[in-house]
Amino acid sequence: MDIIANRDEDPKKKSKFVDKNNYFEIKNYSSILEQPFTLVSNGVKVFTYNFSEIPGFCIFLPISYNPLPPILKEVGVRIMNLKEFESLKAFQSIMWCDLFQTSYSDSDNQSYANYLIAPTCKKNISWLSVKAALGMKKDIKSSQKQSLDKLVYHIPPKRQKYYYVMKVNKNTKASDIACKISKKSLYSQEVPDTIQQEIIEKAEKMLKNASFVYPPFEYPLVLLRSVHVARKKELKHKKTYKPINLKIAPENLLETFYLTRKQTRNANKIVKALISIERYTYLIDFVALYNYHGDFNLIRDATTAPAYDNDKNYDPIENLGDSILKVISSLQLYFRHDGKNEGFLTDMRTSFVKNKVLCEINLNNELYFYMRCAKVRQKSFRPAYYTGLKRPSEVIVLNEKFSDGMLADEVESLIGAFYLSAGFAGAAGFISRIKVLPEEEWDKTIRFLDGMYRGMLGDKDMKDFKLNNFDDLIPRPEKFTLTSTSDYSLLETIINYKFKNQNLIEEAFTHGSLGLGYNYERLEFLGDAVVDTIVITNIFPLGKFTAERLTVFRHMLVNNVVLSRLSISLGLQNYLKAVKEIHEEIRRYFADFQWEEDLLDFGVYNSHPPKCLNDIFESLIGAVLIDSESLDLTCKIFTPFMKNLILHLAQNEERCDMNIRSKLSTFCQKKHTKCETKTRLDKGLVIAEVYVADDFICDATGNTSWLAKQIASQKAYLLLTSK
């Protein structure tokens, strides 16, 4: 038996589609809420939930809502007899008509969703309220009905200018109340349940014994003895109306008294809660389809655009997913293209992770079904079992338009959510499921993705870390040396890892200038992705940073100056095997640079260390990854070397000034000088150059024009203001 309201709507309304311009037509809830309640031998099986922040009401669902959204609290399963069930169904119509201030209608139910809302009293269903609402009589007639209608439904043209003072307490009696109802439903003012029936009987008796027309009131109300009516702005003209024996039409009487004042106030919050509950049903579908076992809120954030919710959206987690996708795709490409150089591998990785490709992945897997961008307007929302006046949005259909970037961001955000819930393997499973990467060498790649590394830093580290001197960030070596050794025992002691394959560590320090059949480029390609992952996974839990700020954080930590300094701190230059010219370049750099100054603002000063110093730090990480066959272990080995840098930057996030370009422009205007930023492309990267008064100040490199200009402006501002 199908225990659900009539639903003969056009089945096409259930479908969702996308056109060439990324326009979507998406229903507000999934088929989960279309399931019928289960009929059992002694009634109907219902799953009961309370609202977390809406006391006075509960909701009955036909299914067990799992995972449970934070707006609901599970009460349990109960068997409701058919009479009670039908009473609650009828109650929905009355309550929703009151909330939406519409008259009753016999129109069919216009919603597919299947849930029941019930008022509660002391954690139990308030059947007294339900029966009171259903006890309304609509067939009472009066010989003076026309006059009564005119009297009862008169509404002043500028009613909003007035307010009404009503006082009801536990000592109020039915005889203290004179009833007069307006077309706009007026709700209970804490009328005790014990006198509701007395009020009803009095009203019916008044109607039956009507013998004359009573003087009309200018303001139709539920009147008490006495009621003060005053203007909001002009409180001078107060009028007091004495009680009268008023004849009423009882059609709307119980709309006034079946809910308490607290319930009436909270009832308006239910609509917002129902929108969230219905939206969550799509995420339940997602959880079941993709076998997700993590934090439900992560999936909610990963599928929420900033336009829908400015606080909880996919922006922060998207950066995390981008980094995880980068490292997993790098590892697979390393195995798929044995012998290919870094340039080829980088181009291939870019082709996999660019927005256009991820957008197609989203469309192919219909992930956009789960994303929300446009908010559902509460005024147009019509919940289940609403049978009042029809509105255009009886079945909520959201017309969404998503850019390619938004669809790509959702894919990366979901990857980030799977990583946070199940580590690298969890993210890889989702990547494989939606076919972001090809299947070649996938089994070999998966072997490297064990463990649950999700960063090693937390709030306690943030609280405990204090910067005393620059050596706390990156330890200064006792002396700057440049030797040539093949004894890696000291290095293995420093990093606390013993290589099983010595050929890998040899490869990690072999420069391409030697022209051998191998060099560190391929391992550097891997290490670059691992460094990126270490930074993002550790900085992510330290604060609620915006996507833009995380992007700048990443650049300030993963750049040539910082990584070269880490390389020097570990003494990696002593293991580098390269032509004499490379070694001479390193010696010249050692002769000129200052340890503190270059590190002061994470490389914003004009320091240009030889790129090979950066490269060998990353290639060493890549070598450990391949030798250990564990991305988890590799991250744990090298996180301590970057730990203090990450904590210091997180504690001083003002270094990532999002308005730095505006500050630079204002500074130059005050000095009456012209500031100009020029950009150019070099090997796929954007180089931004800052000129002040036509003089070159500095430059910076970034993956995007915005990032390059941001970093270049930061450099220029610090250089100019420090003079």
318, 506, 618, 699: the active-site residue = 618
Contact at 8 Å (CB) between 449 and 327?
Answer: no
Burial 265-279 (b: 16+ CB within 10 A, else e): ebbeebbebbbebbb
| Preceding amide of 67 cis, omega within 30 | yes
CA gap 224, 199 in Å, rounded: 12
Active site residue 618: yes
Contact at 8 Å (CB) between 94 and 385?
Answer: no
What is the amino acid identity at position 25?
A: E
CA angle (47 as vertex; 43, 51 as ends), nearest 5: 135
34, 507, 528, 699: the active-site residue = 528
Residues in the chain: 723
Contact at 8 Å (CB) between 62 and 310?
Answer: no
Burial 705-717 (b: 16+ CB within 10 A, else e): eebbbbbbbbbbb
CA gap 716, 424 in Å, rounded: 39
Strand arrangement of the beta sheet that strand 695-702 belongs to: 675-682, 685-692, 695-702
Active site residue 528: yes
Contacts 24+ apart (CB under 8 A), 632-635: 632/423, 632/424, 632/449, 632/450, 632/451, 632/452, 632/453, 633/451, 634/530, 635/453, 635/530, 635/533, 635/534, 635/537
Question: What are the backbone dihedrals phi and psi of residue 264, each rounded to the nearest 5 degrees, phi first?
Answer: -60, -40
Token pair, residue 582, equals 């490379």
Q: Is the dihedral of CA 160, 161, 164, 165 positive or negative?
A: positive
- Active-site annotation, residues: 528, 618
